[in-house]
């Protein structure tokens, strides 16, 4: 829990200070800040949802991105070493928010017709339509939040496990095997190198998963807002 509070404090400071003095001609810091926020704003949100709807859902999607990114990055920060998202709580919250968001978007635009549009494909015979409606129900309303949650969770858990494995093995090889006089302990060099490589990989995965969950949420909203199939 402390890790999360720390992340929240850091995020708030970053976002607050970064957006404090936005000038027409950006300074270096502002350019860097704008690069990140502008990436989320333009590439993820507006690129998927368009200008008008993008602006409506901008704040919450941006929050999803930055909270996920921050919590993911704690997995590789020395002293923290565990991702806030490698416990099911946060991924579940993100998934529920995304789920609520796209259903809200669809219902807001189409009312009750949204569920009919989402489930029933026009122009099919009733049996096929019923069959496909069950599939759509499964994929849209049941599997989507589960996959959103589990994708993020398992990526982070797996990354954490890999790092733990590598560094625990290094520790074991150096301080137990090598210290016991066995040259096999030099294998620890290899496991340490793998640990470094996976740390870099985790950095990448942290950013990637934040991107993935945000753009998926945006895409789900876009599909809910789209006209009938």
Partner 1 sequence: MLNAFVAKAAATPSLLLPQLPDLIWGTLAFVIVLVVVVWKVVPRLNAALDARADAIEGGLKRAEEAQAGAQEALERYNSQLAEARAAAAGIRDQAREDAKRIRAELVEQAQAEAARVLTSAQAQIEAERQGALVSLRAEVGAIAIDLASGVIGESLNDKRSNDIVDRFLADLEASEAAAAKAKA
Q: Which residues bind partner 1 (CB under 8 A)?
A: 1, 4-5, 7-8, 11-12, 15-16, 18-20, 22-24, 34, 37-38, 41, 55, 58-60, 62-63, 66-67, 70-71, 84, 87-90, 92-94, 97, 153, 157
At its nearest, how many Å lie between partner 1 and the CB of residue 40? Answer: 10
Cα(188)–Cα(175) distance, integer angstroms = 9
Using the minimum distance from each CB to partner 1, give the nearer residue, 63 or 81: 63
Q: Cα 55–36–202 angle (5° rounding)?
A: 120
CB of 132 to partner 1, least distance (A): 30
Is the separation of the CB atoms in 209 and 156 below 8 Å? yes
Least distance CB 41 / partner 1 (angstroms): 7
H-state helical runs in 111-186: 113-119, 126-136, 144-172
Select 40 or 118, whichever has its Cβ closest to partner 1.
40
Nearest-approach distance from CB 30 to partner 1, in angstroms: 8
**5/127 with CB nearer partner 1:** 5
Nearer to partner 1 (CB atom), residue 27 or residue 176:
27
At residue 73's C-alpha, the angle toward residues 68 and 5, to 5°, is: 70
Residue closer to partner 1, measured from CB, 37 or 199: 37
d(CA 102, CA 136): 15
- What is the smallest separation between the CB atom of 223 and partner 1, expressed in angstroms? 23
Distance CA 51, CA 61 (A): 14
Identify which of residues 65 and 115 has a Cβ nearer to partner 1 in the complex: 65
- In the complex, the smallest distance separating the C-beta of residue 131 from partner 1, rounded to whole angstroms, is 30
b/e string for 204-225 if b means 16 or more Cβ within 10 A? ebbbebbbbbbbbbbebbbbbb
């Amino acid at each position: 829990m402390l890790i999360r509070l720390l992340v929240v404090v850091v995020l708030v400071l970053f976002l607050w200070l970064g957006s404090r003095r936005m000038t027409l001609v950006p300074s270096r810091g502002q350019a860097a800040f704008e690069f990140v926020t502008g990436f989320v704003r333009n590439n993820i949100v507006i690129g998927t949802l368009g200008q008008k709807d993008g602006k409506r859902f901008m704040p919450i999607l941006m929050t999803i991105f930055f909270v996920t990114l921050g919590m993911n990055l704690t997995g590789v920060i020395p002293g923290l070493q565990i991702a806030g998202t490698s416990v099911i709580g946060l991924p579940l919250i993100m998934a529920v928010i995304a789920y609520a968001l796209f259903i809200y978007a669809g219902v807001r635009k189409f009312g009750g017709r949204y569920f009919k549009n989402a489930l029933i494909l026009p122009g099919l015979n009733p049996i096929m339509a019923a069959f496909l409606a069950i599939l759509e129900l499964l994929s849209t309303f049941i599997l989507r939040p589960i996959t959103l949650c589990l994708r993020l969770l398992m990526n982070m858990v797996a990354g954490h496990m890999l790092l733990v494995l590598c560094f625990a093995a290094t520790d074991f090889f150096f301080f137990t095997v090598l210290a016991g006089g066995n040259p096999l302990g030099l294998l620890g060099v290899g496991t340490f190198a793998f640990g470094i490589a996976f740390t870099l990989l985790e950095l990448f995965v942290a950013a990637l998963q934040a991107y993935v969950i945000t753009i998926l949420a945006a895409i789900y909203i876009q599909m809910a807002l789209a006209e009938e199939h």
